[in-house]
Amino acid sequence: MTLCWPSKPISTPRHGTFRMMPHLFYASSVKSGVGGVSQEGERRCRHNGPSIRFPFWVKGFHLDRYRYPGFELSCDKNKQTILDLPFSVKLFVKKIDYKSQVIRLYDPDGCVPAKLPNLNLSASPFQFNEIYLGNYSLFNCSAPGRQIHDSVPCLRASAYQVYAIWSMETVDDYPLTSCIKIHDLQSVPYNIFDQRGKLQLSWSKPNCSFCEAEGKICRLKDNTTEHETECVATSKTLQVFLPPNLEAAQEGERCRHNGPSIRFPFWVKAFHPDRYRYPGQTN
């Protein structure tokens, strides 16, 4: 496999005005010989970040046929991979298991339970990756010295503790004097209160696990309005890494470290957006 690395930015006059984009490493697979895309493609916010490919996509970088609703990711200024969940819940992506269709997330603040009151997975394509779910009530208790085993460690402070009480339990069984109910949580896994900063979600649609099992690529069918998917066989590939933003893309890439710099008006087929292509100068 040959690697095609971007050159370092160099000082050259800009051809037009380019908007800086979030950092994003491209690692797309391209058919050798004939050209064309065999996998549109693996992307990462950083070189060792989670692989981003169908059904996930990054706005501004993936073509429409490789975008599935609800699976948009973003890269922040620190090159972290971000998943925004309804409503206003932002979590970092640690890993995406495309064969099992599970995404592993973590809260940079180390407390997923703090995000639960705003989390509404019914408005997303995801569900908790747990079999047993339950309803819980969160109580803020100010009295010191309580011995309740259902505390939520990451929500406590010096003046109070927070407890998660299962709805099937009798509140009278707990010493909840000097306590205030602060939230009711519906259908959440109990271990979410112990894992603190970690969360696993799964998705069932689109079902691309069988494509992964066969070593094929999953993508949207052409000319479909129902978001139907298909499996496409992979081919012998040439691995290509594009630079971290579109402005850098205009300053030069190389198919090898000592190869010729490729920059405007030249462009690489299947990688540069149309507005960065000058007719007749393809590579």
Amino acid at the residue 235: S
Q: Which residues contact 2 (CB under 8 A, 6 or more apart)?
A: 238, 239, 255, 256
Q: What pLDDT shows up at residue 276?
A: 57
Calculate the average pLDDT of the chain: 75
State whether the Cα torsion 42-45-47-50 is positive or negative.
negative
Q: Among candidates 121, 119, 188, 101, which has minimal Cα distance to 152? A: 188
pLDDT of residue 138: 92
Tell me how far apart the alpha carbons of residues 104 and 119 are, in angstroms, rounded to a whole number.
Answer: 16
Confidence (pLDDT) at 168:
83
Predicted pLDDT of residue 24: 52
The residue extents of the domains of the chain are 3-125+201-276, 134-188
Residues of the chain with pLDDT under 50: 1-22, 26-39, 236-251
pLDDT of residue 3: 37
Taking the CA of residue 272 as centre, how many other CA atoms within 13 Å lie in the half-sphere pointing to its CB?
A: 24
SS3 212: helix
Q: What per-residue confidence (pLDDT) applies to 66? A: 73
